[in-house]
Structure 1
Amino acid sequence: MSKLSNLSAGAVPEEVVRAALRASRVRGVPVADVPLLAVAEEAGISRSTLMRRLGGTRRALDEAVRAAGVDPGGQKPVRQRAVEAAAALISEQGLASATLERVAAGAQCSVHSLYAAFGGRDGLLHAVYERYSPILDVEAVLAGPHHDLADTVREIYRLLVGSLSREPRVLPAMIADALSRPGDPMVQSVYQQFFPRMLSGIGQWLTDEIAVGRIRDLPLLLLTQQLAGPVFSHFLMRPAASRVPGVDLPTAEEAVEVFAQTFLRAVAVLPPADRT
């Protein structure tokens, strides 16, 4: 193998990488789909000169672009790969396992790329939580019309159940870390970012329901715990309970209906015609 063909990604001139990225943006295609002639023209050099600077192989350019934090094509974007890699680590081994080094290895990117995409570990963990928690979907439900209290409660429960049940089990792992290490700075970082947001959204909805007389005027924190606590308890323990001989678990939808009816009996205000 020639000396040129051994050229590392780090030895590809920066102006060549920038030219490839410009050509990619102009054409609206990944770098890997940009012809080398177009890259050469963007860099103001001949194709043969470009090939010499790449060591005779297109792969050197792709590796250099990837090292700069941009997916050249053929893979998911760095941000998506990193979020998925971090989610898998958290699900299997908890929050502490999601170091930037381990996430970079799982995502097949550099630590520098993670800093470029997320600004650091906190940003990465926030992105993971936003994707794998129900926060965005719950916010969307509560932002829309919700005239029927029972239907809204059921929809919130279904969203919670989905996040608690699907793989990778990010939300259960984060809850476990919060319960076992509540003072851990990493746990605090995630929860201080998102739990006030979740409580604010649900709290405003509950406040509105109190104002129109559909829910009893109780402390918001207790109402929120009454709403979510039973569902969290059941579906966090459900995987283990399913392996216990003689335990007959209801379906997820049956559980949702039972918890919804129980919550409504506890906090809903009956219409005057239904009062005895």
Structure 2
Amino acid sequence: MSPKQHRGEVTADLLLDTALRLYTESGEQGVTVSAVTKASGVSLGSLYHHFGSLDGLLTALTERWTHRLLGQLVTAVTATDTGPDGIRAVVEAYVGFVREHPGAALLIHSPYADERMMARAPELREAHAPSVSAFALWAQPRIESGELAPLPLPLVETLVLGPVVGLARRWLAGIQDIDLDEAVRILPDRIWRSISADPD
């Protein structure tokens, strides 16, 4: 990597980190061009050079943290030997991510992220293909062995992640009427029953 490329990466990272800090502090309305350039010390021209627009910056930020979350989930599930252990690992990793990175978690669960990600679904599906493939590599042998129900993999993903995403959205919205530790104890078994070949 040339010194110029390195400087470019450093600048892009600074803009992304600044945008996340502003989003964490003030929400989407706090992430303005003037706020980002002032807080980061990066010029307006550099912001547009790297991201094209403020929307481009927020989209890149959302994709960065979505990719990191998916990476943590894949690492967690692929390190396990049994189906129930895999589901427990996913729930623990997801809740751990939300607790450790609340600002990023709030962004990737926001209406903004939903709207932008839905609009770019085919492109993002391709970008996240390695994570999907890793999950398939974990799930397919368990389907073939009779441990997992013979369901389409997208449906398995929905049954696994749906309850955890719902929990995260509720907690991030400030409706903290569910104890996260209790949820981590209860959800894995309930989720496993929904995908197990033998739910009893």
Corresponding residue for 1:224? 157
The answer to which structure, 1 or 2, has the higher relative contact order (CA under 8 A, 6+ apart) is 2
Higher helix proportion, which one? Answer: 2
Corresponding residue for 2:87? 153
Separation in 1, partners of 2:164, 2:48? 36
Determine helix, strand or coil for the equivalent of 1:109.
coil
Task: Report if the CA contact (8 A) 1:88-1:168 is conserved.
Answer: no
Matches within 5 A, 1:1-276: 70=7, 77-91=10-24, 92-94=26-28, 98=31, 102-114=35-47, 118=50, 120=52, 122=56, 125-126=59-60, 129-131=63-65, 133-142=68-77, 144-177=78-111, 182=115, 184=116, 188-189=119-120, 192-193=123-124, 196-197=128-129, 198-239=131-172, 240-242=174-176, 247=177, 249-250=178-179, 252-270=180-198
Task: Report if the CA contact (8 A) 1:157-1:231 is conserved.
Answer: yes
Determine helix, strand or coil for the equivalent of 1:216.
coil
Rg comparison, structure with higher value: 1
Structure 2 segments unaligned to the other structure (5+ residues) = none
**How far is 1:99 from its partner?**
5.6
Separation in 1, partners of 2:122, 2:98? 16
**How far is 1:148 from its partner?**
1.9
Question: What count of residue pairs does the alignment treat as equivalent?
Answer: 191
Query: What RMSD in Å do the two structures reach over aligned CA positions?
Result: 3.8
Separation in 2, partners of 1:202, 1:81? 32
**How far is 1:215 from its partner?**
0.5
Determine helix, strand or coil for the equivalent of 1:159.
helix
**How far is 1:209 from its partner?**
2.3
Paired residue type of 2:36: V
**How far is 1:202 from its partner?**
2.9
Residues 1:141 and 1:166: Cα distance change in structure 2 (over 3 Å): closer
Separation in 2, partners of 1:233, 1:156? 14
Separation in 2, partners of 1:153, 1:106? 40
**TM-score, normalization by structure 1:** 0.54
Paired residue type of 1:177: P
**How far is 1:127 from its partner?**
5.0
Task: Report if the CA contact (8 A) 1:69-1:112 is conserved.
Answer: no
**TM-score, normalization by structure 2:** 0.71
**How far is 1:167 from its partner?**
4.2
Separation in 1, partners of 2:134, 2:60? 18
Paired residue type of 1:155: A
Paired residue type of 1:193: L
Task: Report if the CA contact (8 A) 1:89-1:98 is conserved.
Answer: yes
Structure 1 segments unaligned to the other structure (5+ residues) = 1-21, 26-64, 72-76
Paired residue type of 1:137: Q
- Spell out, residue by residue over 1:63-122, the C-alpha distance to the aligned partner (whole angstroms, 9 max, x if none): xx9xx9949xxxxx433322211213444433x865655433332112343456x45454
Residues 1:93 and 1:212: Cα distance change in structure 2 (over 3 Å): same
Task: Report if the CA contact (8 A) 1:165-1:235 is conserved.
Answer: no
Paired residue type of 1:139: V
**How far is 1:141 from its partner?**
3.2
Paired residue type of 1:263: I
